[in-house]
Amino acid sequence: MWRVISERFHQGFRTGKFPLEEPKLPPRFRGLPRFDGECPSGCRACEELCPFGACAVRERKMAIDLGRCLFCADCPACPQGRITFSNDYRLAVRRRQDLLYSGGAYPLAEPLEPARLKLFGRSLKLRQVSAGGCNACEADCNVLNTLVFDLGRFGIQFVASPRHADGILLTGPVTENMRSAVLDTYEAVPGPKVVIAVGACGVNGGPFVDSPETNQGLGTLLPVDLYIPGCPPHPYTILDGLLRLLGRR
């Protein structure tokens, strides 16, 4: 027992100071994209080269659908290297169309409307649903319960039953085999409720988009209150989105 107490003092305070302090992310972290200059006249190479159809050119300006983007290292889409990624981890939005980004100010998620914010602003219980994901997004959601992030200090918890939840947090592209389970879970949550789509698969189907075995993300089935893009999104990206939804950022 004394060894345990001694080790605890030796380790010190491990919980991060977010959101009072910005997180320190490694240089290789890929967050909000950056675009360097205009596209050459007639160039649409990024539309052809992006394997997930996330890039588009509009009036010689590049745009990325962050709902489809998998944040590939050394993005191969632009032959001129005009697409890079910043360290900005803040990516969560309220509307699907806000993920169509072409530079400039990014429309970060706004709080819930007053009626639901009054209910959930200080305590939010979520039922996490893995609807055919690869377990990467699920792992980054689970790590929020560790002492580094300590999700519970914000009054946010994952619960075992949808009947004990205020909403669902979904990962995965919603495979056809999981479709009924997702809908049943949603119906089991008492209203009013919150719906959150996490990761490229949950937002838009990810690399499985247009597959007949998936439902192209959660938005095709349910009204989504918060979209958190990434493959997978960093735990701080998820946490930032949740806090913004509750008016805590």
Domain 114-245: which topology? Rossmann fold (3.40.50)
Q: Which of 65-69, 127-131, 235-239 has the lowest mean pLDDT?
A: 65-69
What is the rounded distance in angstroms from the CA atom of residue 67 to the CA atom of residue 229? 6
Q: pLDDT value at position 59?
A: 67
CB 153 within 8 A of CB 124: no
pLDDT tens digits, one per residue of 50-90: 888 888 877 667 788 999 989 887 676 676 777 888 999 99
Residues 6+ apart with CB under 8 A from 11: none
Of 36, 123, 119, nearest in space to 85 by CA: 36
SS3 sequence of 38-93 = CCCCCCCHHHHHCCCCCEEEECCEEEEECCCCCCCCCCCCCCCCCEEECCCCCCCE
Q: Which amino acid is at 219?
A: G
Q: pLDDT value at position 55?
A: 82
What is the rounded distance in angstroms from the CA atom of residue 7 to the CA atom of residue 148? 17
- What's the length of the chain? 249
Which residue carries 């490694």 as its tokens? 26
Q: Name the H helices within 96-234.
A: 114-120, 136-142, 179-188, 199-204
Rounded to an integer, the average pLDDT of 158-162 is 94
What is the rounded distance in angstroms from the CA atom of residue 228 to the CA atom of residue 197? 6
Q: Which of 74-88, 92-106, 138-152, 169-183 has the lowest mean pLDDT?
A: 74-88
For the chain, give every domain's residue range: 114-245
The DSSP letter of residue 228 is: E
Secondary structure (3-state) at 57: strand
Q: What is the number of other CB atoms lying within 10 angstroms of the CB of residue 97? A: 10
Cα distance from N-terminal residue to C-terminal residue, the chain: 40
What is the rounded distance in angstroms from the CA atom of residue 163 to the CA atom of residue 190? 7
More confidently predicted of 73 and 173: 173
Secondary structure (3-state) at 157: strand
